């Protein structure tokens, strides 16, 4: 029986996430395809759904670089130094080993015989030159931010935009020999093996440095797939590279077709009609409908959580909304009811700043302030002497956030607290957050690039992420200890201590985890990377006839 392996995917309905997400929805990986089936004829092509939330132009605007709708395409074209499996563990890909004795300087040895798809050899110099080019601010590469913790980054990116960089080479990179280089961070950083699995650290051939814009339109990759066609407003077509020597997901399609749709609902209907095989990140509002239309064999919930919704309380609001008021707001929020009744199983109540995809996760880290307790909330309001109104800002058109804000408002009324849902145009809300002009708390979504506590805890102290104007010396000290730890158990102890300290300050409150549902043809099985679905890892599980 001849198998024609074509997989059609709806261009991965990506969500707009904050800057921490290095892969734009997101990093890590892992596939273990299956076999068997009903023997029917099947032609499968993976289609990636472009979400209007992240791509108003409804097209694949970029392929290289993180946080763009083309990132799912780019993952299939790239063999990073490391990979992340379905359980969230690191495995070697383009590297044969990534080791450190102090968690700061890392020695990276390469797997032998790797080339770009055009036959250009890949050496240690290739990786070092790529990293230097992306890290140099004047090159304006979209992945530049991912290099901030590498030694020497500041010299390549002066704080004064008018100043010239003093060098074009990161001091933290050294070529040892053709197959070995060292990477030194500006502090102990045991997440390096995870970091190297992300899209910002994919290699580029020397030819790309001359015209990165042209390269973006037709990138030469080093991964399992080749880009054979790109019509940005219609589709991207990828084919397996027969010369590729690295890891290929079991059951991988010979051809991937990433189809562009004007909206997610249209893409979903195309899956139901059998014209598209995979739709990543099915909106919560369609989950119940999809269960009826596709059944158990056509709807998969990714086991681990990698998307979490929070309430942000920037510190410049502290005087207007004292800590007791913020605590009361959290206690009058019925997370369980919102998840169960409003979202019908497409979300889970959150009691931690971290999701269950990371080892430091504790289900009840938030404690009493995340428990629904109207009487306790009423006492907190009385203690603060608060008589004002709390506007809750969220992106207009986001029906999930609208339902959340209304549910909180309705419960607050019962204890005499005025909570005002305030839908705000997305651009205006973004400007208000970035310019420190929020008038009240805001609902926000966060996604991780890899399954590490740092993506959720350390990120809170990086002002560029949430714009909280928040400093916490105790938490920062625990984060440093966590990154320097030599064992997972030791690191987790410090991540949890940092989380406890942040939760006490009530600057960010966990609400719920968004369950990632994948709508798909029953003859394919989606696979994730530590909780994040990656389309090129989709396995074809039915025998296919020509």
At 184, is the secondary structure helix, strand, or coil?
strand
Tokens at residue 344, please?
A: 């019908």
**What dotted CATH number matches 79-213?**
3.90.76.10
Annotate 290-301 with b (16+ C-beta within 10 A) or e (fewer): bbeebeeebbbe
- CA dist list (Å): 50 to 56, 141, 157, 257, 397: 9, 22, 32, 13, 17
Mean residue pLDDT of the chain comes to 87
Lowest mean pLDDT among 59-73, 130-144, 311-325: 59-73
**Taking a C-beta distance cutoff of 8 angstroms, is the pair 214, 499 a contact?**
no
User: Nearest CA to 502 among 542, 460, 543?
Assistant: 460
71-106 residue pLDDT tens: 889 999 999 999 999 999 999 999 999 999 999 999
Q: What is the mean pLDDT of residues 251-278?
A: 88
Structure-token pair, residue 311 = 């309430």
CA-to-CA separations, 433 to 307, 392, 419, in angstroms, rounded: 20, 13, 19
Question: pLDDT by residue (tens digit) across 135-171?
Answer: 999 999 989 989 999 999 999 999 998 899 999 999 9
Q: Report which of residues 389 and 161 the model is more confident about.
A: 389
Q: What is the pLDDT of residue 506?
A: 98
- Is the predicted pLDDT of residue 40 greater than 60, yes or no? no
Give the SS3 label for residue 275: coil
**DSSP per-residue letters across 247-265:** ---TT--SEEEEE--SSHH
61 vs 63: CA distance, rounded Å: 7
- Which DSSP helix (H) or strand (E) runs through 267? helix 264-272
Q: At what angle do helices 323-331 and 374-384 cross, to 10 degrees?
A: 160
DSSP string computed for 9-56: EE---PPP--TT-TTSS--------------------EEEPPPTTT-T
**Tens digit of pLDDT for each residue in 179-210?**
999 999 999 999 999 999 999 999 999 999 99
Give the residue from 99, 101, 48, 100 showing the smallest Cα distance to 74.
Answer: 48
DSSP letters, 466-520, are H------HHHHHHHHHHHH-SSHHHHHHHHHHHHHHHHHHTSEEEEEEEP-EEEE
Query: pLDDT-based confidence at 267, cuts 50/70/90?
Result: confident
Range of lowest pLDDT (155-159, 183-187, 278-282, 294-298): 278-282
The Cα 208–Cα 187 span in angstroms is 31
Does residue 422 contact residue 430 with C-beta atoms inside 8 Å? no
Q: Which pLDDT value is given to residue 397?
A: 83
Higher-scoring residue by pLDDT: 408, 400: 408
Greatest Cα-to-Cα distance within the chain, rounded to the nearest angstrom: 76
Tell me the C-alpha to C-alpha distance, in Å, between residue 339 and each of 265, 446, 533: 22, 17, 22
> Are both 1-77+223-302+516-546 and 307-514 of the same fold?
no
245's enclosing H/E stretch is: none
* Backbone dihedral angles phi then psi of residue 491, each to the nearest 5 degrees: -60, -45
Residue with tokens 């097209």: 59
Contacts of 536 by beta carbon, 8 Å cutoff, 6+ apart: 46, 72, 75, 76, 224, 225, 238, 249, 252, 256
Give the helix/strand (H/E) hosting 6. Answer: strand 6-10
> What pLDDT was estimated at residue 448?
85
Instruction: Provide φ and ψ at 150, rounded to 5°.
Output: -90, 140
- The domains of the chain are located at 1-77+223-302+516-546, 79-213, 307-514
Q: Which of 121, 122, 117, 143 is nearest to 132 (CA)?
A: 143
Cα–Cα dist 316/24, whole Å: 29
The DSSP code for 290 is: H
Residue 287: which H helix or E strand, with range? helix 287-294
pLDDT of residue 531: 83
State the pLDDT at residue 62. 80
For 307-514, which CATH superfamily applies?
A: Dipeptide-binding Protein; Domain 3 (3.10.105.10)
pLDDT at position 76: 94
Asked if residue 359 has pLDDT above 90, the reply is yes
Average pLDDT over residues 358-383: 97
CA proximity to 469, closest of 274, 330, 277, 316: 316
Reported in sequence order, the residue ranges of 251-402 that DSSP labels E, i.e. its strands, are 255-259, 278-282, 299-301, 307-312, 347-349, 389-395
* β-pair partners for 6: 255
Which tokens is 168 given? 């074009």
Distance CA 332, CA 196 (A): 42
Rounded Cα gap, residues 45 and 60, in angstroms:
17
The CATH class for the domain spanning 1-77+223-302+516-546 reads alpha beta
Q: So what's the pLDDT on residue 4?
A: 52
> Average of pLDDT values for 349-365?
96
| Predicted TM-score of the model (pTM) | 0.87
Which residues on neighbouring strands pair with residue 443, listed in sequence order? 311
Residue 244 has pLDDT above 50, yes or no: yes
């Amino acid at each position: 029986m001849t198998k024609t392996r074509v997989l059609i995917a709806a261009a991965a309905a990506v969500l707009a996430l904050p800057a921490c997400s290095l892969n734009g929805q997101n990093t890590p990986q892992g596939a273990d395809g299956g076999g068997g089936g009903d023997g029917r004829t099947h032609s499968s092509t993976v289609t990636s759904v472009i979400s209007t939330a992240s791509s108003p132009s409804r097209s694949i605007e970029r392929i290289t670089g993180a946080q763009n709708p083309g990132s799912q395409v780019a993952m299939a074209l790239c063999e990073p130094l490391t990979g992340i499996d379905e359980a969230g563990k690191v495995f070697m890909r383009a590297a044969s080993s990534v080791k450190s004795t102090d968690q700061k300087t890392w020695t990276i040895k390469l797997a032998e015989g790797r080339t770009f798809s055009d036959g250009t050899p890949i050496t240690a110099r290739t990786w070092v030159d790529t990293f230097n080019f992306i890290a140099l601010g004047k090159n304006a590469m979209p992945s530049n931010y991912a290099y901030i913790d590498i030694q020497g980054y500041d010299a390549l990116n002066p704080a004064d935009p008018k100043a010239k960089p003093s060098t074009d080479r990161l001091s933290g990179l050294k070529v040892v020999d053709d197959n070995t280089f060292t990477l030194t961070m500006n502090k102990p950083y045991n997440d390096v093996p995870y970091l190297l699995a992300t899209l910002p650290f994919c290699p580029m051939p020397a030819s790309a440095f001359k015209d990165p814009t042209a390269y973006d339109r037709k990138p030469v990759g080093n991964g399992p797939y080749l880009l054979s066609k790109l019509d940005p407003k219609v589709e991207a077509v990828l084919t397996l590279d027969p010369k590729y020597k690295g890891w290929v997901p079991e059951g991988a399609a010979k051809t991937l077709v990433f189809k562009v749709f004007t909206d997610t609902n249209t893409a979903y209907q195309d899956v139901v009609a059998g014209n598209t095989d995979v739709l990543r990140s099915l909106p919560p509002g369609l989950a119940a409908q999809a269960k009826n239309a596709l059944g158990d064999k056509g709807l998969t919930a990714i086991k681990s959580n990698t998307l979490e919704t929070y309430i942000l309380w920037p510190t410049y609001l502290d005087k207007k909304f004292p800590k007791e008021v913020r605590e009361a707001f959290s206690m009058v929020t019925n997370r369980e009811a919102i998840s169960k009744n409003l979202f019908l199983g497409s979300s889970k109540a959150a009691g931690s700043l971290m999701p269950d995809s990371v080892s430091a996760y504790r289900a009840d880290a938030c404690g009493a302030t995340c428990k629904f307790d109207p009487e306790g909330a009423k006492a907190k309001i009385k203690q603060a002497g608060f008589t004002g109104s709390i506007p809750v800002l969220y992106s207009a058109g986001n029906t999930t956030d609208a339902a959340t804000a209304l549910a909180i408002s309705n419960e607050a009324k019962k204890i005499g607290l005025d909570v005002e849902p305030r839908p705000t145009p997305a651009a205006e809300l973004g400007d208000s957050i970035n310019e420190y002009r929020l008038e009240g708390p805001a609902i926000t979504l966060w996604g991780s690039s890899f399954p590490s506590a740092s993506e959720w805890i350390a990120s809170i102290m990086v002002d560029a992420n949430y714009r909280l104007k928040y400093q916490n010396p105790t938490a920062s000290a625990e984060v440093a200890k966590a990154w320097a730890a030599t064992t997972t158990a030791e690191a987790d102890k410090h991540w949890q201590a940092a989380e406890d300290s942040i939760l006490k300050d009530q600057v960010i409150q966990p609400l719920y985890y968004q369950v990632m549902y994948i709508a798909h043809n029953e003859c394919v099985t989606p696979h994730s990377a530590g909780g994040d679905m990656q389309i090129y890892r989709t396995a074809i599980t039915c025998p296919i006839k020509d």
